Amino acid sequence: MNRMGKKFLNNESGGVAVIVTLLLVVFCGFTALAIDYGQIVYMRRELTKAVEAGALSGARGLWPPDFSVTPFPPPWKDRQPNWPNGYDKALATATKNLSTPAADVITVETGRWDYNNTFTVTQINPNGVRVTTRRNDVPTTFAQLLTLNPISIGRSATAIMDWTNAVPGGSLPIAVNLGEAQKVGDSIKIGLNPATTDNGGWFAVPPSNPSTPTLLDYIRNQTCPPLNIGESIALNNGTVVPVLDELYTELAVIQASHPSGWDVVVPVVTTNQFNKTDQIVSFVNIRITEVVAHGNPKYLAATILALGGTQSGNPGPPGPSGPTGVLAPPRLVQ
């Protein structure tokens, strides 16, 4: 090999440029990946927010906006969900939370959640809404560098609003018979006089007894413990004038700002003998309109409302006697 050939082979003056070029390509690739990753994370968060908000809004939309109205205006009927309204609310809310709703594919389905991690699509008596959205043809810098196709990003969420199987503490110490709780829209009188049978009465959670001090404490300080379907409560239908007086005073204060009455959620039992212990089978929303604490007979007048809600509480399938209208707040399940 001549001198020029050896000089050419031993020349390393361009090596740095080659290494820098290779490193630059690698750096650009990692930069593209970082940009793409950030973009994908942002889009996933946006889609997740949209489907979760849509599902929660749709689950709430299955039911009337105002539980205090009885009977309900169309399209609702008593204690039945309305799937078209839930569908419309879910679609509108999901669309509102997307930056490119015209380009995104949004699917809304109503159905029943079985509390065993299964959602069955149906329009018959739905208790939940599932919202799915997909953003197609999402361009990525790294994919363009490698001449790959754009990607698709999808998200899904399911929310339910169903009958409550528990209510938080603070309930009034009044229980109602199941037959009365099913008389939607009817005015009833709960006789609070000693009798063999009755349609309602006082209660306390064992080991407490429904004595005057316990009942007054429940009313004045809202100390009634949380209540659950299947839990036993001690019943009493005797005349307790101090407790009736306390209810009368409380009702007068409430009617000063809410003339229609005092809406309260109370437990429901199957027995009509309110002098023993019985299990809670459901809950019902009643509107107390009058308390007669003196004279004969003494009673509490109330209207059975079609629906009611709790600020907390666990949704679940109704008890063996069926639902009597109290709903847990909407919540995400999937």
Which pLDDT tens digit goes with each residue over 197-231? 888 999 999 999 999 999 999 999 999 999 999 99
Mean pLDDT of 19-27: 57
Catalogue the E-assigned strands of 169-256.
174-177, 187-191, 200-204, 227-228, 232-236
CB contact at 8 A, 164 and 256 = no
| pLDDT greater than 80 at residue 140 | no
Q: What pLDDT does 333 receive?
A: 95
pLDDT of residue 131: 97
Helices (H) and strands (E) in the chain, counts: 7, 17
- Over residues 126-152, the mean pLDDT reads 75
CB count within 10 Å of CB 221 equals 9
Enter the pTM of the model: 0.80
* Stronger pLDDT, 175 or 4, i.e. the higher one: 175
User: Does the pLDDT of residue 9 top 70, yes or no?
Assistant: no
pLDDT(29) > 80: no
- Judge contact between 123 and 18, C-beta under 8 A: no
Please report, rounded to a whole number, the percentage of residues in the chain having pLDDT higher than 70.
84
Flag whether pLDDT at 102 surpasses 60: yes
Structure tokens at 250: 């409380």
Q: Which has the higher per-residue pLDDT, 289 or 199?
A: 289
Phi-psi region of 287 (alpha: psi -120 to 50; beta: other; left: phi over 0): beta
Residue 163 has a pLDDT of 92
Q: Three-state DSSP class for 42?
A: helix
User: What is the per-residue pLDDT across 244-275, written as a single tens digit (0 to 9) for each?
Assistant: 999 999 999 999 999 999 999 999 999 988 88
* Comparison of pLDDT for 133 and 324, the residue scoring more: 133
